[in-house]
Amino acid sequence: MTLFFQSNPLKIVQGIGQYLYDELGNRYLDCINNVSHVGHGNPRVAEAVQKQLHLLNTNSRFLHENLSNYAQRLTGLFPEHLSVCYLVNSGSEANDLAIRLARAHTGRKDIFSVDGAYHGNLTTTMAISPYKTHKLASYKQSKWAHVAPLPCAYRGKFQRDNFAGDEATVGRLYASLTEQVIEEVRDKGREVAAFFVESMISCGGQTPLPKDYLRQLQKYLQSIGSLLVCDEVQTGFGRSGKRMWAFQLDGDDIKPDIVTIGKPMGNGFPISAVVTTREIAQSFGNINTEYFNTFGGNPASCAAALAVLDELEQNQLQKQADEVGEYILEKLKQLKSNSTVIGDVRGYGYFIGIDLVRNLESKVEAPEFAQFAVERFRQEKILMSAEGKYGNVLKFKPPMVFNMDDARLFLNVLTKILDDLEKQPLKCTLNQGSDSSRRSIDSVHSSSSSASSSSWLDSSMEMDL
């Protein structure tokens, strides 16, 4: 496992709201923690869990009003057709169950995901997570798992620059390309149970889906009897500011068959969910004896999740993410217009990516600039990290309690860092200290060691999952 600031990790001992405190009492502004959605140490969540733990916490083979209340409130936040939910314990479990549901409903086995995607740490979900598997030299792709192109409107096969900024054209072209790739697989006699996609792509580089991409793909998937699964593990619960679920960003006619959620759901207390249609749940019920999950939907996790919804609603945190996020995006776009290192600024609300490049024309990724920026942010007591296939995208995903003052501080510091990078890019990246150089060694080291340690799994014995 890689830590943040691997060669000089932080020991964090307390969190309050959008701030984290290390063992020496230093306070850091947290711009990366999308789990502590309603704030670190949130009193309402802590009290709800504590009260429930004192009273009762057991498996879900009893009736409990926390579970039924939560299931009702949660499904009430989704479009009408998504009326059934399964409560589980992690994003990985949710995606694994989504695979099982899709297979049960379609009677097919194959799954598509998008290049750069991460869907979880289980054997099944790793197989559909190119973000991880592409780093393993010896990895042998499971026969049932296929990869579609990352629909990035900035770099990639279809770039908005080449279509006068028209993202809808880009989205439709990527959807058509994806259809082609799926057809190639079908031509070989394989049928596709489901297409998995994050509603905004996270690990792959903080990339929102271009307009019309999901719309066109949804029609195609329906025509071939395959399901659309939207992974909202990172993007759900209002993070986009605009909508509760990021798949809704392109319009209410986008109707995934299955949605998976997790991370922020219990503000750090483990709980996640799969939300789907009654028909799909019925198909699953017909061919499985039962789905039982010891900890899924336990009273304490549901108490945490209910408190998260209360906090979101009462403090209007989605609205805050929208307003402050818009402000940040606007300022970032201004910074970009004068910058030779910001290639792209993208996102919504509190899900923003700043794509750093060595050259605006060639769009060559600059992971060393991103690493320099992350280190400099840390010196200024702001926690940021870098994402994307090449680690060159600064990711901004703070707790939803992040406010306008925080935004101003973040932007001031970023402006200074960009200034340094603009003036002396080489000096910055050469002088950034041992962390980045060690990081590259670390990453080579960890990828080679993980390759060998997991080669038993990746070798010729493709498992029948």
Helix or strand run (H / E) with residue 51? helix 43-55
Cβ distance to ligand PMP smaller for residue 79 or 270: 270
**DSSP secondary structure letter of residue 120:** -
Question: What amino acid is encoded at 408 in this protein?
Answer: R
Which among 87-95, 241-249, 355-363, 450-458 is the span making contact with ligand PMP, rule CB under 6 A?
87-95
Distance of alpha carbon 55 from alpha carbon 44, whole angstroms:
17
Rule CB under 6 A: is residue 124 a binding residue for ligand PMP? no
Contacts with ligand PMP: how many residues (CB under 6 A)? 14
Q: Which of residues 86, 112, 118, 237 is near ligand PMP by CB under 6 A?
A: 118
Contact call for residue 202 and ligand PMP (CB under 6 A): yes
CA–CA separation, 304 vs 47, rounded Å?
A: 9
262 is an interface residue for ligand PMP by CB under 6 A: yes
Cβ distance to ligand PMP smaller for residue 343 or 388: 388
Binds ligand PMP (CB under 6 A): choice among 113, 206, 234, 318:
234
- CB nearer ligand PMP, residue 30 or residue 198: 198
Contact yes or no for 275/84 (Cβ under 8 A): yes
Closer Cβ to ligand PMP, 199 or 429, answer by number: 199
Helix, strand, coil abundance in the chain, percent, nearest 5: 45, 15, 40
| Residue closer to ligand PMP (CB basis): 120 or 349 | 120
Within positions 36 to 65, which residues make up the interface with ligand PMP, using CB under 6 A? none
Report, in Å, the least distance between residue 95 CB and ligand PMP.
Answer: 6
293 binds ligand PMP (CB under 6 A): no
Give the whole-angstrom CA distance, residue 185 versus residue 188. 5
CA distance 150 to 286: 35
Task: Determine the Cα–Cα distance for residues 436 and 457; give it in Å rounded to an integer.
Answer: 31
Cβ 384 to ligand PMP, closest distance in Å? 17
What stretches of 242-366 show up as alpha helix (H) in DSSP?
278-287, 299-314, 317-337
Residue 198 touching ligand PMP (CB under 6 A): yes
Give dist(CA 312, CA 11) in Å, integer: 29
Look up residue 341 and give its DSSP letter: S
Q: How far is the CB of 445 from ligand PMP (least distance, A)?
A: 22
**Is 91 a binder of ligand PMP (CB under 6 A)?**
yes
231 binds ligand PMP, rule: CB under 6 A = yes
Which of the ranges 51-59, 88-96, 151-159, 426-434 carries the binding residues for ligand PMP, by CB under 6 A? 88-96
Is-contact 269 66, C-beta < 8 A?
A: no
Closest contact distance (angstroms) between CB of 198 and ligand PMP is: 5
In the bound complex, what is the minimum distance in angstroms from residue 94's beta carbon to ligand PMP?
Answer: 7
- Site stretch for ligand PMP (CB under 6 A), options 72-80, 229-237, 308-316, 445-453: 229-237
92 near ligand PMP, judged by CB under 6 A: yes
**HSE (side-chain half, CA atoms, 13 Å) at 317:** 26
Q: Which stretch binds ligand PMP (CB under 6 A): 68-76, 84-92, 296-304, 364-372?
A: 84-92
SS3 at position 461: coil
Could you give the 3-state DSSP secondary structure of residue 444?
Answer: helix
Q: Which of 44, 64, 119, 346 binds ligand PMP (CB under 6 A)?
A: 119
| Shortest Å distance, C-beta 320 to ligand PMP | 22
Amino acid at residue number 350: Y
Residue in 6, 57, 83, 121 binding ligand PMP, rule: CB under 6 A: 121
Q: How far from the centroid of its chain's Cα atoms is residue 400's Cα?
A: 15
Residue from 44, 112, 124 nearest 304 by CA: 44
Report the distance separating Cα 343 and Cα 192, nearest Å.
Answer: 36
Please give the residue whose beta carbon sits closest to ligand PMP in the complex.
Answer: 91
Q: Which helix (H) or strand (E) holds 343?
A: strand 342-348
Where do contacts with ligand PMP occur on this chain (CB under 6 A)?
A: 90-92, 95, 118-121, 198, 202, 231, 233-234, 262
